[in-house]
């Protein structure tokens, strides 16, 4: 592994326990959990196979079966009952066996063995297959396996010889033998109840501050009220570059704007190409499974010294030294922050582009396996000699199979993610040591990204691109809300912008009204949206370019409104009586669609927080203390919890709390009701001890009309807030504060407004009468 701070700290601290376990493709993905090791369970042989329609089953020597025929209409060649009476939620099971394929009618469909799971009502839950059989080695015996964490839906099911995720007609001759199914760990064990703290974070900015993407002009800073520029760039090696860069920082500082610096693991390759010999460049390129270099797609139109935009590997020592030098150059003018773009390094190619199979990556993965498994474990799982093992050579046998069906896939991803975390920590530590003062360290990383937990402890803030789905023109349907809620759970500020494609769409169709919603949504949820004086845009036809509003009047007044109305943002914290339990292993595995759940709660106007369970990269597992403030816990189906965490939920329920799996089962007293208006979301935030008032309710209208780039006005509706959400609040006055409208808005434009409202207070609720709403209104409660 690269030098630096250990990135899989829990796994390394528990190396002895890890080596007592079987090699774990799926478990290793969730190295965030620790387990009860040393518990022995008998392996259960699977023998009672039954052929699917059209197949003939012949029993041969030992436990070998032969399957021949043409199967039509089913997904499997054969099935067998589970050798256990019941699957236990929280337990970990291993399915393994041997396969030999003599012939297949379609060489592009790879068979496997799988566990098919049903819930306690007999309803289908899902398939959990081994990695697939390699058809590049037809007519050879191959061992396949998978290890599966049972979630709260697991109850029963069966085993099957899978055709290859297809139900089409397939003719086959294949053999299966020595299939074993066993529980290898009785229950996952939560490692600790440590919580991430805001005390770990250096963030000297207020919630009403305005954050920019890259440096602009002094007029941009004035128009938008920019406080901090997150992606401040870095100087090149040319002598004049540092002087120019220092001048940009100094000029902005005199204007009250702090400029940060940034480096990009993926995109800051220009000087590396200019100043490196051919051999160095050749060795540093990320290679795909076929040995071809992978390019940076969004910079496909870029050429440096005649060379394309190669994606270079952070496993390569020369490129690592280059990036560290880049960070040091970026800090020479004492910027006010440092952001790492594309901080996940080679994880992206591993996830989406059949990489990284460069020489240094292959060697690094070999060291990764050596550091976590014994030679016996490696040998039992197809690696008799780790010194010569080549993950690229192994995976090339599976080049025609989907990358998720290859052996050691989960370990390979985790290796890249943890290596990126190591390197980011190394750069962070060296950067802070050079400056001898604290600056915020951030990354272009969505807190909702499945592997973000590897890096959170090294970051002070998230500054990231987030899909707003601009092309679908449905504000609020993007990924932002999950990201904002996840950032709050991780105790880090979130600074978002749309993706390059989002901004290109807005620019092409001139839709600043969409951007207004994105800004409002961020600040209404205690986060930031980057000041849009300049945002990155990308389209296949134009490549990389910038989005700038046609006039600063389109969006700058909204940013200035936020800054001048600081009391509505700075001292306000989220209010919620519902905890959405996010099982991190379930999030990584994709067993629960938390994005959909978050949108459902927002559409129902149920204030909620996310509480993370079972993640040891973050040091987070469920505790009694973290549930103290909540009336109810929403635990969507598919949660993977330890015995201790399930016990905490049971205790919460016994003490009078409610635990439900469906948001519709939540108590209505936890919901803000909007009467006589649709498509309005309400977000409740309460003032802390420094707040001027008692709280605010943000009202967001998502009823968007693309033809006019406006929102259908909502008139004369009522907001009903349960008193359970306003505990101890003696209300004297409620006002509607509306940001200024913008040019082009149908109807009469208006300046910022502050309108006193009528309201009624009863024992159970507060009813607030709202005369109208265009896109964003804030109810200030005094």
Task: Give residue 689's pLDDT.
Answer: 56
Q: Which helix (H) or strand (E) holds 100?
A: strand 92-104
- Reply yes or no on domain 44-185 having CATH 2.60.120.260: yes
For residue 373, the model assigns a pLDDT of 85
pLDDT confidence of residue 752: 72
Which parts of 186-316 fold into alpha helices (H)? Answer: 218-224, 239-254, 270-275, 278-284
For residue range 648-657, what is the model confidence (pLDDT) as tens digits? 999 999 999 9
Compute how many other C-beta atoms are within 10 angstroms of the C-beta atom of residue 274: 12
Please give the structure tokens belonging to residue 770.
């709202």
Give the pLDDT score at 239.
80
Residue 589 has a pLDDT of 93
- Per-residue tokens: 760: 């009624």
The predicted pLDDT at position 687 comes to: 79
Q: Are strands 461-465 and 494-497 parallel, antiparallel or unpaired?
A: parallel
- Which stretches of the chain drop beneath a pLDDT of 50? 1-40, 190-194, 691
CB 366 within 8 A of CB 106: no
HEC profile of 585-641: HHHHHCCCCHHHHHHHHHHCCCCEEEEEECECCCCECCCCHHHCCCCEEECCCCCCC
Q: Residue 495 has which token pair?
A: 């600074």
- DSSP annotation string for 222-238: HHHTEEEES------SS
CATH no., domain 573-669: 3.40.50
Dihedral (Cα; 306, 309, 315, 321), 10-degree rounding = 60
Cα separation of 304 and 306, whole Å? 5
CB of 35 closer than 8 Å to CB of 150: no
Fold of the domain spanning 672-781: Immunoglobulin-like (2.60.40)
Ranges in the chain annotated CATH 2.60.40.1180:
672-781
Q: Which residue in the block uniquely carries the two structure tokens 């973050």? A: 618
Q: What number of other Cβ atoms are within 10 A of residue 579's Cβ?
A: 24
Buried b (16+ CB within 10 A) or exposed e, 182-200: bbbbebbbbbebebbeeee
**pLDDT for 749:** 64
Contact assessment for residue 631 and residue 724, using Cβ atoms and an 8 Å cutoff? yes
Q: What is the structure's pLDDT at 22?
A: 33
pTM: 0.92
* All CATH 3.40.50 domain ranges in the chain, comma separated: 573-669
> Residues 653-691, buried b or exposed e (16+ Cβ, 10 A)?
eeeebbbeeebeebeeebbbebeebebbbbbbbbbeeeb
As given in the structure block, the two tokens for residue 627 are 């549930």
Q: CA–CA separation, 7 vs 30, rounded Å?
A: 14
Q: What is the pLDDT of residue 186?
A: 67
The pLDDT score that the predictor gives to residue 477 is: 87
Domain with CATH 2.60.120.260 in the chain: 44-185
């Amino acid at each position: 592994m690269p030098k630096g701070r250990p990135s899989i700290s829990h796994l390394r601290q528990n190396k002895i326990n890890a080596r007592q376990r079987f090699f774990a493709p799926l478990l290793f993905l969730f190295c965030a959990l620790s387990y009860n090791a040393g518990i022995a369970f008998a392996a259960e042989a699977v023998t009672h196979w039954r052929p699917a329609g059209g197949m003939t089953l012949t029993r041969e020597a030992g436990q070998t079966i032969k399957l021949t025929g043409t199967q039509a209409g089913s997904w499997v060649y054969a099935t067998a009952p589970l050798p256990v009476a019941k699957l236990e939620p929280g337990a970990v099971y291993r399915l393994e066996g041997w396969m030999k394929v003599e012939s297949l009618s379609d060489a592009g469909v790879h068979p496997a063995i799988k566990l098919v799971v049903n819930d306690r009502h007999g309803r289908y839950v899902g398939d959990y297959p081994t990695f697939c059989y390699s058809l590049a080695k037809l007519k050879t015996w191959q061992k396949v396996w998978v290890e599966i964490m049972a979630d709260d839906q697991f109850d029963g099911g069966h085993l099957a010889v899978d055709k290859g995720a297809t139900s089409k007609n397939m003719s086959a001759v294949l053999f299966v033998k020595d299939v074993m199914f066993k529980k290898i760990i009785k229950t996952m064990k939560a490692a600790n109840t440590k919580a991430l703290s805001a005390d770990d974070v250096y963030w000297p900015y207020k919630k009403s501050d305005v954050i920019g993407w890259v440096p602009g002009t002094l007029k941009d800073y004035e128009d938008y009220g920019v406080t901090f520029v997150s992606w401040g760039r870095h100087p090149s090696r040319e002598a004049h570059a540092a002087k120019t860069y220092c001048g940009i920082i100094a000029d902005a500082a005199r204007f009250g704007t702090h400029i940060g610096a940034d480096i990009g693991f993926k995109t800051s390759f220009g000087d590396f190409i200019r100043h490196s010999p051919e051999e160095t460049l050749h060795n540093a390129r990320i290679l795909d499974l076929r040995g071809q270099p992978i390019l940076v797609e969004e910079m496909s139109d870029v050429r440096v010294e005649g060379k394309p935009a190669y994606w270079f590997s952070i496993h390569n020592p020369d490129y690592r030294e280059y990036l560290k030098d880049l960070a040091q150059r970026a800090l020479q003018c004492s910027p006010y922050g440092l952001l790492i773009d594309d901080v996940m390094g080679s994880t992206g190619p591993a996830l989406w582009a059949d990489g990284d199979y460069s020489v240094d990556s292959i060697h690094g993965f070999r060291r990764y396996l050596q550091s976590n498994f014994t030679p016996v474990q490696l040998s039992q799982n197809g690696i008799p000699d780790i010194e010569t093992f080549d993950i690229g050579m192994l995976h090339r046998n599976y080049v025609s199979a989907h990358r998720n069906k290859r052996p050691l896939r989960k370990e390979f991803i985790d290796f890249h993610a943890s290596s990126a975390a190591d390197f980011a920590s190394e750069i962070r530590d060296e950067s802070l040591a050079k400056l001898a003062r604290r600056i915020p360290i951030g990354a272009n990383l969505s807190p909702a990204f499945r592997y973000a937990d590897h890096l959170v402890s090294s970051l002070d803030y998230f500054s990231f691109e987030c899909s707003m789905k601009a092309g679908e023109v449905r504000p609020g349907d993007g990924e932002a809300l999950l990201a904002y809620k996840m950032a709050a759970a991780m105790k880090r500020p979130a600074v978002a912008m749309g993706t390059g494609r989002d901004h290109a769409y807005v620019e092409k169709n001139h839709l600043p009204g969409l951007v207004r919603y994105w800004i409002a949504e961020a600040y209404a949820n205690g986060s930031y949206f980057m000041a849009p004086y300049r945002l990155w845009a990308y389209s296949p036809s134009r490549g990389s370019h910038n989005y700038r509003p046609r006039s600063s009047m389109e969006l700058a007044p909204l940013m200035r409104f936020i800054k001048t109305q600081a009391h509505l943002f700075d001292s306000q914290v989220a209010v919620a009586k519902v905890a959405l339990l996010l099982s991190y292993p379930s999030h990584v595995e994709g067993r629960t669609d938390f994005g959909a759940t978050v949108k459902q709660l927002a559409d129902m106007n149920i204030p909620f927080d996310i509480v993370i369970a079972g993640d040891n990269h973050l040091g987070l597992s469920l505790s009694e203390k973290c549930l103290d403030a909540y009336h109810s816990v929403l635990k969507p189906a598919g949660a993977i919890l330890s015995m201790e965490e399930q016990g905490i939920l049971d205790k919460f329920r016994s003490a009078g709390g409610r635990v439900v799996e469906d948001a519709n089962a939540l108590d209505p007293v936890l919901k803000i009701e909007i009467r006589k208006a649709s498509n309005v979301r309400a977000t409740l935030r309460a003032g802390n001890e420094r707040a001027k008032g008692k709280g605010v309710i943000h009202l967001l209208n998502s009823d968007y009309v693309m033809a006019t780039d406006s929102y259908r006005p909502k008139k004369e509706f009522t907001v009903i807030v349960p008193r359970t959400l306003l505990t101890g609040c003696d209300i004297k006055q409620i006002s509607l504060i509306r940001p200024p409208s913008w040019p082009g808005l149908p109807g009469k434009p208006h300046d910022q407004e502050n309108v006193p409202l009528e309201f009624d207070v009863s024992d159970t609720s507060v009813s607030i009468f709202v005369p109208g709403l265009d896109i964003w209104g804030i109810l200030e409660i005094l």
